[in-house]
Amino acid sequence: MGMDFHSSKNRITYTTRNADKSWVQAIKELVPIENISRATDIGCGGGIYSKALSDMGIDTVIGVDFSEAILEGAKENCKEYKNISFKHGDALDTCLESNSFDLLLQRALIHHIENLQDCFTEANRVLKDDGFYIVQDRTPEDCLLEGNESHIRGFFFELFPRLVEKETNRRHNSQFVIETLKEAGFRNIVEVTLWETRKVYAYKEQLLYDLRERTGRSILHELDDKELNLLIKHIDESITADENIVERDRWTIWKAVK
């Protein structure tokens, strides 16, 4: 089935939460934010992390996404942020000026990209000399962790093993990412893992509603409605807490310098 990123009905699917302090702290430990004045968020989705970059004190943030529909949601989400603007483009052709950014972020993007060499080469073109490149995505190992009270995503693959192949085949292993970054001209490459708090739900029903709506979870578009209902039932029975559910996702982050 797959998610249609260009459909207007999915316009706000990536606007319904905020970047957690766990993510903000991780980025501050990797990048001297106080020295960053211009940043771009490639594959910005609904602008959640564009807002986070602005909130961290960055003067100018430009979000880029390949979906006009998603960009409309991002513009609405960020309408109070006068220093954030958006452009239509993609990771291989960002439509941004060369040597113009201190920081380039690509979060949850590269699993959509088959040609990482061209993606990383474009990032190198856009960044200033000594600019920072942050790539955040899941490795195959990140995807296969078991589900539990906080790692909700793990339940998806336990109940529907066919999703494992779909998920792992689209993920790049860390060594390949690192080698391709080097080939694209990047240096000082650092890899870290992060358990990022995705969202805190006051009540379990809020989590189940998000799952039912497939909010911000493209992998759930691989399930039909009957399968999705089975998954929701399974998660409902697997999680004992009814209140204050803290959902965390496991990620790998690569930092590189131009």
Strands (E), 138-186: none
**219 located within any domain:** no
pLDDT over threshold 90, residue 80: yes
**156 located within any domain:** no
Q: What is the pLDDT of residues 109-168, one digit of tens each?
A: 999 998 999 999 999 999 999 999 999 999 999 999 999 999 999 999 999 999 999 899
Q: What is the pLDDT of residues 207-228, one digit of tens each?
A: 999 999 999 999 999 999 999 9
User: Residue 56 — φ and ψ, nearest 5°?
Assistant: -80, -5
Q: What is the pLDDT of residues 184-196, one digit of tens each?
A: 999 999 999 999 9
Domain span at 193: 8-146+163-198+249-257
User: Residue 26 — φ and ψ, nearest 5°?
Assistant: -60, -45
**223 located within any domain:** no
The span from the CA of 48 to the CA of 15, in Å, is 6
Residue 4's pLDDT band (cuts 50, 70, 90) = low
Cβ contacts of 115-122, under 8 Å, gap ≥ 24: 116/172, 116/176, 116/177, 116/180, 117/180, 117/183, 117/184, 118/92, 119/91, 119/92, 120/180, 120/181, 120/183, 120/184, 120/186, 121/184, 121/185, 122/91, 122/92, 122/93, 122/94
DSSP state of 94: -
Q: How many domains does the chain have?
A: 1
**238 located within any domain:** no
**What predicted TM-score, i.e. pTM, was given to this entire model?**
0.94
Residue 100's pLDDT band (cuts 50, 70, 90) = very high
pLDDT score of 17: 86
pLDDT over threshold 70, residue 1: no
CATH number for position 40: 3.40.50.150
